[in-house]
Amino acid sequence: MSTSRLPLKKYPLNRAFCFFESGPVLLVSTLRNGRANIMTISCHMSMGFTPLIGCMIGPWNHSYNALIETGECVLSVPGVDLLETAVAIGNTSGADIDKFAEFGLTPRKGAKVGAPLIAECLALVECVVRERPEHHEMFVLEGVAAWRNTERKEQRTFHARGDGHFIIDGETVNLRDKMVKWQDCI
Amino acid sequence: MSTSRLPLKKYPLNRAFCFFESGPVLLVSTLRNGRANIMTISCHMSMGFTPLIGCMIGPWNHSYNALIETGECVLSVPGVDLLETAVAIGNTSGADIDKFAEFGLTPRKGAKVGAPLIAECLALVECVVRERPEHHEMFVLEGVAAWRNTERKEQRTFHARGDGHFIIDGETVNLRDKMVKWQDCI
């Protein structure tokens, strides 16, 4: 796993919920028996400021058993320059290929979990499995360390519509002064 | 509640997950004791094709008790022309005002639940509460009827970043032919 210098900087954990709340496509990396893997997800939500993140990962995903067995993963937010890579990751299986090698991504050692950071992503959170609600293939993940790539030019994320179309971030509007009820959170 | 003709058309329920999967800001409408209310949410995720939608609504929200007592709501996707309205809805309380009247929105009777459709929105799903996982202020909602405003020019949605900034949809990219593993879903 690479330990070379890459422009990832530690980020305040209690602000990391802002990486996910807009619903971008995420990459989930795991490490089991020395083998790293990556999957792509779009079904996730912010569940708390810790941060807590709920996400849907089922036994039909090769990463499912790694997540169950190790209780750890990294959630990474890819920029739009990684759109086709994220789709390719979501349409191949870690049972067949080494996705880091196949897609030219750089695994980097994190601070708190064994699963690798994906150095090319723009924001990353190391997570542990906090809970598994019954009846659904849902994991509640708790972030334990956060990182941000501060030198990356492309900061736009992308969102899956669920029908094979992807929506790229457009304009960002600042309405902080209208959030009168939530000034403590923003 | 208005029954006048508005350009909402029934939409295939098993395709309605595509309204939510990209993570747009949603409006949640409820009806309790003859009084309609609306809240704004950004923490939700697609949990299944039924559709099932997980969302975070806590007792700090005035809509919480209405949702608990009636077991019903409507999830509506506002277009970007409703961005400031959605933020204003999220920063006022139904304990103080009638939000439909205050914000000039049109309640319309749905097909399956008592909670009103918001006629100005671009996509809507009537929902019943299917489950309440323990330990979190989470509801699992099941869609029972879906609608789409087919005559609306503005189809862009918007996403909350959680820090008072909102990301408006930009370009949409069609990568259906790359979704080789998921052709049955898209």
Per-window interface: B 160-179 vs A, CB < 8 A: 160-179
C-beta neighbour count of A35 within 10 angstroms: 11
Kindly state whether residue B3 falls inside one of the protein's structural domains: no
Kindly state whether residue A163 falls inside one of the protein's structural domains: yes
Whole-structure pTM value: 0.95
- Please state the separation of Cα A158 from the chain's center in Å: 12
Per-window interface: B 101-120 vs A, CB < 8 A: none
Total of domains in chain A: 1
Kindly state whether residue B150 falls inside one of the protein's structural domains: yes
Kindly state whether residue B16 falls inside one of the protein's structural domains: no
User: Which of B136, B167, B174 has the CB atom closest to A22's CB atom?
Assistant: B167
Residues in chain A closer than 8 A to B133 (CB atoms): 133-134, 136, 138
pLDDT for A136? 77
B145-168: buried (b, 16+ CB within 10 Å) or exposed (e) per residue?
bbbbbeeeeeebbbbbbbbbbbbb
Inter-chain residue contact B164 with A171, CB threshold 8 Å: no
3-state helix, strand, coil in chain A (%, to 5): 20, 40, 40
Kindly state whether residue A13 falls inside one of the protein's structural domains: no
Nearest CA in chain B to A134: B133
- CA torsion, ordered A128, A134, A137, A142, to nearest 10 deg: -20
**Sequential pLDDT tens for chain B (186 residues):** 554 556 899 999 999 999 999 999 999 999 999 999 999 999 999 999 999 999 999 988 888 999 999 999 999 999 999 999 999 999 999 889 999 999 999 999 999 999 999 999 999 999 999 999 877 799 999 999 999 998 888 999 999 999 999 999 999 999 999 998 877 777
Residues in chain A closer than 8 A to B135 (CB atoms): 131
pLDDT for A5? 56
pLDDT at A4 over 70: no
Over the stretch A30-51, which tens digit does the pLDDT of each residue have?
999 999 999 999 999 999 999 9
Kindly state whether residue A9 falls inside one of the protein's structural domains: no
User: Is A5 near chain B, with CB under 8 Å?
Assistant: no
Contacts of B185 (CB under 8 A, 6+ apart): A162, B49, B179
The predicted complex's ipTM stands at 0.94
Inter-chain residue contact B176 with A163, CB threshold 8 Å: yes
Half-sphere exposure for B20 (CA within 13 Å, toward CB) = 35
User: Is A54 near chain B, with CB under 8 Å?
Assistant: yes
User: Which of B87, B133, B163 has the CB atom closest to A178's CB atom?
Assistant: B87
Mean model confidence pLDDT for chain A = 93
Q: How many CB pairs under 8 A join A and B?
A: 193
Half-sphere exposure for B52 (CA within 13 Å, toward CB) = 16
Report the CATH number that the domain containing residue A115 is assigned in CATH: 2.30.110.10
Inter-chain residue contact B167 with A56, CB threshold 8 Å: no
Over the stretch A53-110, which tens digit does the pLDDT of each residue have?
999 999 888 889 999 999 999 999 999 999 999 999 999 998 899 999 999 999 999 9
Measure A181 CA to nearest chain B CA, in Å. Answer: 5
pLDDT for A102? 97
pLDDT at A3 over 50: no
Closest-CA residue to A120 (of A135, A132, A104, A109): A104
Measure B28 CA to nearest chain A CA, in Å. Answer: 16
In what helix (H) or strand (E) does residue B146 lie, and over which residues does it extend?
strand B138-149
Domain range holding B93? 22-182
pLDDT for A6? 64
Cα angle A57-B12-B183, degrees, rounded to a multiple of 5: 45
Kindly state whether residue B15 falls inside one of the protein's structural domains: no
Kindly state whether residue A5 falls inside one of the protein's structural domains: no
Inter-chain residue contact B43 with A55, CB threshold 8 Å: no
Rg (CA), chain A: 16
Chain A interface disruption, residue of B18, B81, B93, B161, most A CBs within 10 A:
B161
- Averaged over A4-32, what is the pLDDT? 92
